[in-house]
Amino acid sequence: MAGPVLSIRDLTVEIPTRYGILRPVNGVSYDIAAGEILGVVGESGAGKSMAGNAVIGLLSPPAHIAGGEILVNGTRIDSLQGEAMRRLRGKEIGMVFQDPLTSLNPLLRIGDQLTETMLAHLDISRSEAEKRAVAALEEVGIPGAAERVDSFPHEFSGGMRQRVVIALALCAEPSLIIADEPTTALDVSVQAQIISLLKRLCRDRGTAVMLITHDMGVIAEAADRVAVMYAGQLAELGPVRDVLTAPHHPYTHGLMGSTPLASRGRDRLHQIPGAMPRLDALPDGCAFHPRCPYGQDRCKSDPGPRITDGDGRAACWFPLKQEAVA
């Protein structure tokens, strides 16, 4: 059996400050197989996007990878810099950002951006690249692709721009896509179209996808497995159906209980008490224990067990094995 497309092992990202060293990603490990969508979910500041930026080499200094390994198709990439990392982007790893305008050059026609990306990473002629640019727009559902290939980014709607960004991310035939909140800026109907598009392209091309989001509905609709992050660490990892219907970690249980469906019949949505701690003020023991209704003495002094491999595991000393979300 072929190995995973992406393998993250004990990844740690550090940011040195005058108050000490912050770790927005702290000892995270998971794999993504070919054709699989892994949803990475958690509150703002949980470390979701920072992990994705570490994979693609877009950490803003002084943030840096301080430990662990990142492998793409069996090749370690966490030490790559400069031109070596730039060659990897596009060819092996594609990126879909939340705001498509940050990914597209407003001064260049869409076709030119697709063509130049393919010429930079594929051994093809310009005429072949131009043909593939039209085909890429057709594949992501841009109507009249042969005419729209000469349009500028501002001539597309938000949903169509996001389709163009997906075409741009896939045009060099990468094996991994990192999609960071790809539907947040879109209305609900367009969100559903983009999610359906990602799922279809993932299935047809065998592309691995890291889908970063705070939206549990997107996770339920799109992901095969889900990784739940809290305060820079992995709280739970497993098949999406298992994690969403019978979560083992109290934090995941609280997230699912906060959804409208789980809170039906109540006057107010259920909420997790308190707030996620600042990275410079993490409590001793399990980072979630001050908010956890199931915490015990051990949780106050002993960090939870690390998730290193396998599915359906929770970084908790007292997992909720019998509880399910209503």
State the pLDDT at residue 324.
45
265 sits in which H/E element:
none
Strands (E), the chain: 6-17, 20-32, 37-41, 64-72, 75-76, 93-96, 176-180, 208-213, 225-230, 233-239, 313-314
State the pLDDT at residue 265.
61
Task: With 0.85 as the threshold, say if the pTM is over it.
Answer: yes
Tell me, what DSSP letter sits at residue 98? S
pLDDT digits (tens, 9 = 90+) for 14-39: 999 998 999 999 999 999 999 999 99
| Preceding peptide of 100 cis, ω within 30° | no
Tell me, what DSSP letter sits at residue 101? G
Distance of CA 234 to the CA centre of its chain: 13
The pLDDT of 165-176, averaged and rounded, is: 93
- Across the beta sheet with 37-41, what order do the strands follow? 93-96, 176-180, 208-213, 37-41, 225-230, 233-239, 313-314
Percent of the residues in the chain that have a pLDDT greater than 70, as a whole number: 94
d(CA 295, CA 277): 16
Burial 174-211 (b: 16+ CB within 10 A, else e): bbbbbbbbbbebbeeebbbebbebbbebbeebebbbbb
The pLDDT of 73-79, averaged and rounded, is: 93
State the pLDDT at residue 190.
86
Residue identified by tokens 């094996």 is: 175
pLDDT at 184 over 90: no
Residue 20 has a CB neighbour count (10 Å cut-off) of 10
- 323 contacts 253 by C-beta, under 8 angstroms: yes
pLDDT at 326 over 90: no
99-113, 120-134, 178-192, 233-247: range with lowest mean pLDDT = 178-192
Tell me, what DSSP letter sits at residue 61? T
Mean pLDDT across the chain? 90
Q: What is the DSSP string of 16-42?
A: EETTEEEEEEEEEEEEE-TT-EEEEE-
